[in-house]
Structures are given as structure tokens and as C-alpha cells.
Structure 1
Amino acid sequence: MPLAPLTLASFTTEPVRWLPGLLLSGAIAAGALHLAGQPFFVGHGLSTLTLAIVFGLLLGNTLYPRLAQTCAPGVGLAKQQLLRTGIVLYGLRLTFQDIAHMGWGGVAVDALALASTFGLACWLGQRVLGLDRRTTLLIGAGSSICGAAAVLATAPVARGRPQDVAVAVATVVVFGTVGMFLYPALYRWNAAGGWIGMDAQQYGLYVGATVHEVAQVVAAGTAISSHAASTAVIAKMVRVMMLAPFLLILSFLLLRAQQASDASRGETGSPGAITIPWFALGFVAMAGVNSLDMLPPALVQAGVRLDDLLLAVAMAALGLTTHVHAVRAAGLKPLLLAAALFAWLLVAGLLLSRYLPAWL
């Protein structure tokens, strides 16, 4: 539901309309935040974002239809403005020093894993499986960058519908969870067999460059050692930092594709403009501010907690407005695409993380 432009008058009337939807989304998000900190959910790598969309889906397909008329304005605000604010604040988790710590070899592994996975997603999704472009882009972004957060950030650029976003989030959650258990098992199996020489740091780079969600990266790294976990988190954060240039490039490519399509149909008109995802630039700016080490640690921690809440509220709102029948209508093809990308990350990511840094 599109939001009305903010005016001076709206500041006195709109909050009343927003309040019910924001309270409902906020209550779901608060529950997800609480449960995500419990040992069971921590041990299984189930993040706040995952739980928020699951709870939102449950309510969205049971009780919410009866509340939709009252709650829709606030839920729409959560899915749009609060989401973009959350992406900007996500930059507080990163510093440019993380890149320096990784070295150019680690950065190259992240960049090649991202580019190859997203390129494969576009080819397989549209050319082989016949999926629509929106779903393909969202699954590709979630698999290649940072799971649900990347899906949410890419949705405005790709013009994804709620059901497209829900399908993409579901696929990255499924295979990210599989990876969280599979990676440590494969590492131990390889260590016992002695087939591929890989130490804890190389394993951490492998995990950080290929596993979907941050929570899943932490769980997969910690299962081997604290050193593997710290390396994995740094690699993951560098990968997350690539979200902003990714969105800018994607916006440019989508504009070029639209112009080519118009030209092929003989349509003329204004050349259009790139859809600049300003929130992505804000994300980089926030990371830059954090890199200067000027902010008090307590303020950074408060900002990260606020960001967790904002993104959880956005995910809850997304779940509330997603109907299960729309997700079911997508069929098995999105799952097949996500499975193929997972397999690619598992194999190509291993080769890149093991051999590329030494070669560079």
C-alpha cells in the first residue's frame, strides 16, 4: 500500500493511522528479539529476522485479515520507511578496517563468490527455470550477499512484491540452515581424511564468504573454533559491505534492460533515470562514520539494537502481508534455484577460499 507524502498536517493525523499497525508489527518483532536470544534458537542459528517473518506469516494468514483495514497504514510504513532506516543503521556493524584486516585476498574471495553466484542465479532463474525476474533477483541477492537482509534491501530496487520477498527469504533460510550444520561436518570429515589441507582461518573465510545469514555464519564458525568464528564474521561483514555497490550496479543494469526493451518495441521517450537506492549510500556513510571510531561504544551498541528492532519490525510487517497461497503458487522452481546456488557456493566457494588468497 503506497504511503501518502509526509506533510506538516500529516504529522498530526498520520500517527493515529500508523499506530495500530506499528504496535502489531512491533509486538511481533519484540517477541522475535526475545526468542532469538534463547539458547535453543541461538544454537540452531535462527536469527531475529527469520523468527519475525515466521511469526508474521502465522498471524498474517490467520488473525491479520480481520485487522488489515485498521493496521494497513502502519504495516506499510514498517515495510518501507522503517526498512530503509534499518538498512542505513546496519552500517554500524561494519568498519573499513574490517577490509584491511581481511587483506585483498579475502576481499577478492568475497567479491568473486558474490558476482559468480548472482550471475549464475540470473542465468539459471530466468533462462533455465523460467522464473520471473523479481524472484530471481531476490533469491540471487539473498544467496550471494547476506540472506534476508539482502533480500529486503534489494526488494525496492527490483520492485519485488511481498510474496516474492517471502519466497526468497524462505529459500535462503532453508539452505542457510542446512549450511550451518553441513559446513562443520564437512570440515571434520575432511580433517579426518586429510584430502584438502584447510586450517581454521581458511575455513572461517570459506564460511564467511558463502553461508547466507550472519547468525548462521557465527554458528558454523563457532562449531570449529573461536578463531574460525572471528575470521568468518569478518569475512561476512566485508561481504555485507558489498551490498551498497551491488544495489547501485543492479539499479543501473535494470535501467539499461528497460531501455533496451523499450527500444526493441520501437518505443521512444525520455531515457529515464537510475533508481538510486539512497539508503544504500546511507549504509556506506554509516559504516564510514563507524570506521572513524568517533562514536562512543555505548551509542554504537544502542544503534545496533535499534537496527535489530527496525529490521525485525519490517520483517514482521512483510510476513503479515504475505499470503501462503501466493508463496505456494511459486512452486518448486525457487527452491531448485536456491539449491543450485547453495551447491555452487559450497564447491566454488571452497576452491576460492582455499587457493585464491595464496595465489594473490
Structure 2
Amino acid sequence: MTIHKPQTTGVLPGLGVAVIGAAVAVGLNTALPAVSPLLVAILLGALCANTLGLPASVNPGLAFASKSLLRIGVALLGLQLVVGDILGLGAGVIAAVVVVVAVGVLGTLYIGKLLDVPFAQRLLIACGMSICGAAAVAAVDGVIDAKDEDVAAAVGCVVVFGTLMIPTVPLLADAFGLSDVEAGMWAGGSIHEVAQVVAAGGMIGSGALAVAVVVKLARVMMLAPVLAVISHRQRALVGDGGRRPPLVPMFVLGFLGFVALRSSGLIPDLALTVGGELQKIALTTAMFALGTGIRMDVMRRVGPRPLILAAAGTVLVATVALVGVVAAS
């Protein structure tokens, strides 16, 4: 009987490259705390892929980082969430968050259909714009196993439009006469990445930052039910034949489990600190690997429609969030 050993050597070169890229991103974040390590990692990955040219030997490791490490990072993201903080927002704000995510996903999917964007691509963009940016894109990819070019296009769109939202929301909030708290709620309800929300909230003021982060984390909480719905749809499409995905992906169960643990108050501060660092390392490494998929030739091949869809989705989510903030206030 032949014993097959795991081919870890095939993973190590690419994983090593991703870890080095993540270390550089974290180092830049240490020197410049306002700069998100996740966004830096994506940009570094794209820069390496488009200027240095990465050998094929690193592809298995990069694939491992962008999928397996991403799932670990998303699960550990649950340690940031306390159910009590979300409930403390009040029924009106919670309802607004649910509406933002639901209308954002469904509306962007519909616009993408009108633009004739392939379903997988528009689903990735819709979830990235409506929930939590690149992490949501990669998490959805973990369920539907989309094409690499579709994932790269969606991540690229999140980086571009999420970054544009950082100065746009504070400027418009001031023009609309919103209070700091209302502006913070709008930032948390409309901007794609958690780090981008922190940056925008800091620009608005200290009174806006805390509420912006809590509202954003309420949107992150919506990742679990959305992924469960997508997984259920995938099972229905596969039917009785073929490989059926789990009804609820394991990393989503892990995410919910960590939310429950954090909310219980039983986890010591040291464990939360360690968990937070592990989550940052896993997600930053995964984001570098995802960034290597953002190649100019790929972006040219997918054409302008993903960018048009992402722009429309960003405007849709921001508009619904603004209406929700005004209604809740």
C-alpha cells in the first residue's frame, strides 16, 4: 500500500511570499497607523504581480493563503463582535443595517444583470460593496468557488471605490448638515472595509468613530446569514448529483462561535489580544495573495462593466444607508 504524504513543499514558496508581503504591510501599518494593513497588502500583491512577475511555483501557496487562511481570518473576525454592542444601536439602526445589506446585495445583482455581468462576478461585487469589502468577496468565493479573474475584479473594485468613499462621506455629511453621530452611522453603513470606516470616522471626529465602527460591525454580522443563503442556493443548483457544499460553511460556524464566545465575556483579554493579532496576520496574508490576482491584463480582459457595476453598487448602498440614518434619527 502506498502512503501519500501531503505536498507541503508545493505550498511553501507561495505561502512564504504571502507572509513576507503581509509582514511588510503590517510594518507599514505600525509606522503609519492610519494606513490599513489589509489594503496595503492588496496593493503590494498587485504591485508584485504586475511589476516583478511571480513564478508559477508560488501559485499553490498563494491559492492556499487566499482561501484557507482567509477562512481562518474570517472566523476569527467574530472575536471583534459583541452582540450587546450591536443590540445597543437600537431597533431602528439594526433594521437600517439589514435593509442596507439586503437592498445592496439584491439591487447590485439586478443592476449587474442589466449590465450583462456574469452572475458569479456580480455576486462577489454585490457582497463586497454591501457587507465587508474584500473579506466578503473572498468569503463568498469560498462558497461558490468563482473564477480567479472574477475574484480579482471584485477585490480591485472594493479597493478603488472603498478608498474613494473615505474622503467623500465626511465631505458630503458636512454638506448635508449631519451631526457627528449621524455622519458616523452613515460611514459605518455605507463604506466597504472596516479599516476604511475607521479612516473616515476619524476624519469626521471622535464622536463619530465609535458609532461608525459598531454600525460597520453590525454589517459584518450579516455575512453569516448571507453566506448561508448563498450556500443553500448552491446546494439547490447542484441537486442530488455532484459535490454539494455544506448548508452552512464551517468557517461561518466558526465566525458565529467566536461571536458567542466574545459576547459571553468568558474570554480573557490576553486571549482576545492574541486572537486579534492572529486574525490580522491571517487576513493580511490572504489579502496579499488576493492582490496578486489583480493583474492589468486580467482587468482589461473583464472590461469596464465590473467597475460600472461597483460604482452603481457603491452609490446604491450609500443612498440606502443615508436614508436609513435619517429615518433612524
- Give the TM bin, normalised by the shorter chain: over 0.9
1:24 CA drift (Å)? 0.9
Distance 2:241 2:149 in 1: 31
Cα shift readout 1:158-177 (whole Å, capped 9, x = no counterpart): 32222211111111221111
Cα shift readout 1:58-115 (whole Å, capped 9, x = no counterpart): 22234344x322x233223212221211111111111111222212211111110000
Structural mapping, 1:194-205, within 5 Å: 198-205=178-185
Residues 54 and 224 (structure 1), Cα distance of their counterparts in 2 relative to 1, 3 Å cut: closer
Distance 2:264 2:323 in 1: 35
Aligned match for 2:46, one of 52, 57, 73: 57
Aligned match for 1:151, one of 110, 125, 137: 137
1:307 corresponds in structure 2 to 279
Contact 2:87 2:94 in 1 (8 A): no
Aligned match for 2:250, one of 244, 253, 278: 278
Aligned match for 2:56, one of 62, 65, 68: 68
1:332 corresponds in structure 2 to 304
Contact 1:82 1:311 in 2 (8 A): yes
2:322 corresponds in structure 1 to 350
Cα shift readout 1:130-149 (whole Å, capped 9, x = no counterpart): 01111101100000001111
Residues 203 and 63 (structure 1), Cα distance of their counterparts in 2 relative to 1, 3 Å cut: closer
Residue identity in the other structure for 2:69: L
Distance 2:165 2:287 in 1: 22
Aligned match for 1:34, one of 27, 39, 48: 27
Cα shift readout 1:16-69 (whole Å, capped 9, x = no counterpart): 333222211100111111113443x71xxx52222212211222234344x322
1:100 corresponds in structure 2 to 87
Residue identity in the other structure for 2:103: S
Q: Which runs of 5+ in 1 are unaligned?
A: 1-7, 192-197, 260-268
Structural mapping, 1:144-293, within 5 Å: 144-191=130-177, 198-257=178-237, 270=241, 273-275=244-246, 276-293=248-265
Residue identity in the other structure for 1:173: V
1:82 corresponds in structure 2 to 69
- Identity rate, percent: 35
Instruction: Give me the TM-score of the superposition, normalised by structure 1.
Output: 0.85
RMSD: 2.2
Contact 1:64 1:320 in 2 (8 A): no
1:112 corresponds in structure 2 to 99
Distance 2:243 2:143 in 1: 15
Cα shift readout 1:283-319 (whole Å, capped 9, x = no counterpart): 1111111111112212211211111111111122223
Distance 2:202 2:295 in 1: 36
1:200 CA drift (Å)? 2.3
The reply on whether 1:121 has 2:108 as its aligned counterpart is yes
Residues 80 and 272 (structure 1), Cα distance of their counterparts in 2 relative to 1, 3 Å cut: closer
Distance 1:322 1:202 in 2: 35
Contact 1:142 1:168 in 2 (8 A): yes
Residue identity in the other structure for 1:298: L
1:249 CA drift (Å)? 0.7
1:4 corresponds in structure 2 to none
The reply on whether 1:139 has 2:125 as its aligned counterpart is yes
Instruction: Give me the TM-score of the superposition, normalised by structure 2.
Output: 0.92
Contact 2:18 2:285 in 1 (8 A): yes
Aligned match for 2:78, one of 91, 94, 109: 91
1:322 CA drift (Å)? 4.7
Residues 10 and 84 (structure 1), Cα distance of their counterparts in 2 relative to 1, 3 Å cut: farther
Contact 2:131 2:192 in 1 (8 A): yes
Contact 1:98 1:237 in 2 (8 A): no
Contact 2:124 2:141 in 1 (8 A): yes
Residues 27 and 274 (structure 1), Cα distance of their counterparts in 2 relative to 1, 3 Å cut: closer
The alignment partner of 1:152 has SS state of helix
Aligned match for 1:20, one of 13, 20, 24: 13
Residues 75 and 270 (structure 1), Cα distance of their counterparts in 2 relative to 1, 3 Å cut: closer
The alignment partner of 1:33 has SS state of helix
Residues 272 and 313 (structure 1), Cα distance of their counterparts in 2 relative to 1, 3 Å cut: closer
